[in-house]
Structure 1
Amino acid sequence: MKSVNLLILLCSTLFFAQKDKKSIDSLYAIINNKDAFAKYGEEELLRLCTELYYHSKESGNEPGQLNALTKMVRIYSEADNQGEVLKRMPEALAMAEKLEDYGQKSALLNYEGRAFIKLGFYDRAKTIIDDGLRTANKIPDSDTKYIWRSQLYGATARCIEDSSIDVAQHKQSLFYSVQKAYNEAKKIGIKNPERNRFLGERARILGSINIAFLQMKEGKQYLLSRSIIAETIRSKTFGAFI
């Protein structure tokens, strides 16, 4: 009788463990879908991230927890809610370091750096962004590495621009950062569906910076390049634009 009860208990445990894994996998797929924000909106997506976080925590799935935290941070960053970004940062960064997930750690440092830029703590932001660039070098996947290096160089440029009373005095360092962001985006593999989106945005910023400093020829070339990339994106997404 005891053997039968033990067998029933083991089967029940296995059943619920498999059910929980399916639930985690389903939530993971939903929140990481590229159209998730448009489909669900900020509030519902945050609810789904919270659900994934607690399901993962209960089952001891730390990668699931980290993914949920990183997605929450991204949503709050895009919603300009810097307080919520920074509130989740200690746990998320500690978990990314523990799991040696340098892709998500780079993403988190990018969002943390940008939060401090928005709050006016430019030296703190620069230190964090530099740490992000060092971390991104450890990312094993080349495309992911180039994406986050591009984003982090973009954050450096934003920090220079926002912290300067006279941007012209920092023209050389600003151009360096913006150009590096563009160059890193160009390294993304041509088969990567996100390449044109990143490259187009970097070309737009580089073109705008050139024009702002009256380097009209170079600026127009980059803006034309961006327009061509945008047409490619539209043709592949039936009218959608980045």
Structure 2
Amino acid sequence: MTAPKSSTHVRFAVVGDIHVDKDSAGRLRAFFAQAADAADALLLCGDLTDYGTAEEARVLVGELSALTLPVVAVLGNHDHESGTPEVVAQALKDAGVRVLDGEACEIEGVGIAGVKGFAGGFGRASLGAWGEAAIKLFVQEAQTEAMKLESALAKLRTPHRLALLHYAPIAATVQGEPAEIFAFLGSSRLEEPLLRYPVDAVFHGHAHRGTPQGRTINGVPVFNCAKPLLERSRPGEPPFLLHEVPRTTAASSAAP
């Protein structure tokens, strides 16, 4: 039975890195139904498929098919593996999922900006655009993703706002992973738009062995919602994050 909606809060179930493969049919429906029972909307933080194939996308859509609540998603690096991320995105869109790639949407008065993000490292260890053309292209990709996030955030006019990513915008939530791969788990360039356009919370995945929570420089909570991490760090609990946002009153909705 679906839990009654809260009159004071909008509830979001958030998870990433579910890695659906061709043999996943029937394995995730109960999990998604459990999330739907607890929340008003489902947010997916990328790596929804294992290899980004059309077959995996069809299985994923089948697992989501029984849901009636809004679903918002970004893609991850695994969804790009076969070179056709647009196939995964289109399958989800055809099933009614809002797939964000530098866009924004609104769920029950809460604004959501979404982008995959990219790698490059954090703080003083960030890779700089210097040297070979391949290095410059790598850094340019991180900068492009950061600009897409900024563009999405700039579109939001709601009192409460969330950011949905795959790659991490801060180093704190990748702690626990081998230090040698930190640079491939996220980028501080993704944090910069979050400082210019503050949000209530940030969600990402990707770092399976990372840390569940950290904060941006300006104190915004950042949650690592990779399903393997949630399963390991919260044994006995459903492997999704349940995040509540205060419902917007008519008066605050009208405020600029």
The higher relative CO (CA closer than 8 Å, separation ≥ 6) is in 2
TM-score bracket for the superposition, by shorter chain length: 0.3 to 0.5
Could you say which structure has the larger radius of gyration? 1
TM-score calculated relative to the size of structure 2: 0.34
Q: Which of the two has greater helix per residue?
A: 1
TM-score calculated relative to the size of structure 1: 0.36
Q: Which of the two has greater strand per residue?
A: 2
